[in-house]
Amino acid sequence: MSVTRKLILYTLKKKGLNFFTISDICYLFGITNNYASQIVFQLKSDDAVEEIEKGKYIIASSCEYPLLIGYKTVQPSYISFNTALYVYEMRKDIGEEIYIATPKRKRPLDFKKYNFKYITLKPYKFFGYCNTTIKGNKVIIAEPEKAIIDSLEELNYGPELRKFRDILKKAMEIISVDKLIDYACRFRDKSLIARLGYLLETAGLSLDIPDNFLPKDYIKLNPSGERRGKWISKWNIIDNL
């Protein structure tokens, strides 16, 4: 490596920019886009960095860190759903699908063994995230309460409904139930509130939610299941699991 490349690589690592763009190089070193592109091309040739998608790169030593790759590929965004539940130790394994919440539309991305899925949220649902550091990498992730609400709202990207009770039990030590309910109300979905309330109750938590926050008609606990099972009048829920 030339001194220039060594300096750039050292500076990126020192500043925690394991994921970077050509624009980042230009800004940090006051060089032109063309010159920065040449240096990054040389770094790629040396296998010091890898290109994730056009114009977006990662330092090779961080390539196996999927949480860093995921949310950096689109902004604004945050890690959520099953992936966030794994970070909060509500799930045992991270899996090969990494879930990113964003108000933008973006196609799935394959990199190494991982498939990054970008779940488009309506702007009013895009909240409840925070900055954290995991294994020395700065990431933006859903708060534990928001990860649960996101997963219950978009069941395809969260745990199976049968496992939600156990997840809620595990979460009790790190979540605020008041915040959990507040976040559910902000989704403007009475079915979501009913499902959450019923699952919390069956997980051992006693609570009351005013009727005006609940659906008027009975809804299925599992939306894709049959309309039969245990009818729960308190929540207007058909437990069809």
Q: Which residues sit opposite 119 in a β-bridge?
A: 101
Residue 1 banded pLDDT, cuts 50, 70, 90: very low
How far is residue 171's CA from residue 56's CA, in Å, rounded to a whole number? Answer: 35
Spell out the domains of the chain, with CATH numbers in brackets.
Answer: 3-61 (1.10.10.10), 66-239 (3.30.460)
pLDDT tens digits for range 114-164:
999 999 999 999 999 999 987 777 889 999 999 999 999 999 999 999 999
Confidence at residue 63, expressed as pLDDT on a 0 to 100 scale: 73
pTM of the complete model? 0.91
Cα–Cα distance, 33 to 26 (Å, whole number): 6
Cβ neighbours of residue 127 closer than 8 Å, sequence gap 6 or more: 146, 183, 186
Instruction: Name the least confident of 92-96, 114-118, 228-232.
Output: 92-96
Q: Rounded distance, CA 165 to CA 117, Å?
A: 25
Residue 241 neighbours by CB under 8 Å, 6+ apart: 161, 162, 221, 222, 225, 229
Residue 28's SS3 state is helix
Compute the distance between CA of residue 4 and CA of residue 28 in angstroms, rounded to an integer. Answer: 13
Nearest 5°: phi and psi at 104?
-95, 170
Confidence tier at 17 by pLDDT (50, 70, 90): confident
pLDDT, tens digit (0-9, with 9 covering 90-100), for 28-55: 988 889 989 999 999 999 999 999 998 8
Report the b/e string of 190-222 with b at 16+ CB within 10 A. bbbbbbbbbbbbebeeeeebeeeebbeeebbbb
Strands (E), the chain: 19-21, 49-53, 56-59, 78-79, 97-102, 109-111, 114-120, 129-134, 137-142, 219-220, 230-232, 237-239
Q: Which residues pair with 111 in a beta bridge?
A: 114
> Beta strands 237-239 and 114-120: pairing type?
unpaired
Residue 234 has pLDDT above 80, yes or no: yes
Confidence of residue 71 (pLDDT cuts 50, 70, 90): confident
For 157-214, how does the pLDDT look when each residue is reduced to its tens digit (9 = 90+)? 999 999 998 999 889 999 999 999 999 999 999 999 999 999 999 988 888 888 899 9
Distances (CA, A) of 51 to 146, 186, 205: 31, 38, 48
